[in-house]
Amino acid sequence: GTTGNENGGRASYIHYAEPVDEMVDASHLGYPQGKIHMTIIATEVLETTVGTGMAYLLDTTPYEVVNGNVRFLPNLIHGWETPFADHHFIPGGEEWLLFSPHNADHEIFQTGLQNFPDNSHGGAWDGRIYMGNYHSGLWVIDIESLMLAGLEGGNKTQVHFDSTIGYHLPHGADGAPLDSSYYDFGWTPFIWAAEHYKGYTYLSCITTGLYIVQLDIDAPYGKPLAS
């Protein structure tokens, strides 16, 4: 797999941190009673020999006070990498950062509401991460699946598949390459950020512009766009 120390070519650093807005009770998954605060962090990866770059879901609830100073004690819940990452690598040079994660967003959905879907693992909430990767597009990740896997300790690479519930790569009509009006890159698209708002996900691409996409299970949370 690409999550261990065998990947000596990984040159990366923590580039992005996204605190989850709402604390959640995950006792239905097997966690202790009480609210958990989580934070999503993602690497920006210059080059690899195998893999595309890791993102991590952290439990940032614990803290201690030492001599009047608050010190947080984060714990790893589970990592995530693009499915099929072990079939790819980032060459470096002109293609540095190629498949790397960049910026992400998230949403916590309340379950049990009339006329709204419940795709959770049985709790009062459902959560998704909207991860923007440069040249590999948008990936939608189920938060509960990562949390459950963090307790089970199974195959990490399989968890990357199981927790991924949506994907979109901006593309031209009939497979035509997208033209770039901004940067003379050798590849398009190049997703800079993913932002979720009221059922829609907005993707900003630094080479080709803005895209608005929607996961089918997010549709009830947003108003239809005017035709």
Is residue 30 within 8 Å of residue 149, measured between CB atoms? no
- Cβ-based neighbour number of residue 197 at 10 Å: 12
Average pLDDT over every residue of 153-171: 91
Range 147-175 burial, b when 16+ CB lie within 10 A, else e? bbbbeeeeebbebbebbbbbebebeeeee
Model pLDDT, residue 130: 97
Segment 79-128, tens digit of pLDDT: 999 998 888 888 877 777 888 888 999 999 998 888 888 999 998 999 99
Q: 178: Cβ–Cβ under 8 A, 6 or more apart, which residues?
A: 170, 171, 172, 188, 189, 207, 208
- What band does 38 get if pLDDT is binned at 50, 70 and 90? very high
Model pLDDT, residue 8: 43
Q: What is the pTM of this model?
A: 0.89
Q: What whole-number distance in Å separates Cα of residue 83 and Cα of residue 13?
A: 20
Q: Which amino acid is at 76?
A: L
Whether 2 shows a pLDDT value over 50: the answer reads no
Is residue 188 within 8 Å of residue 178, measured between CB atoms? yes
- What is the four-CA torsion angle of 185, 189, 193, 199, rounded to 10 degrees? 160
Whether 223 shows a pLDDT value over 80: the answer reads no
Q: What share of the chain is helix, strand, coil (3-state, %, to 5)?
A: 15, 40, 45
Average pLDDT over every residue of 21-49: 93
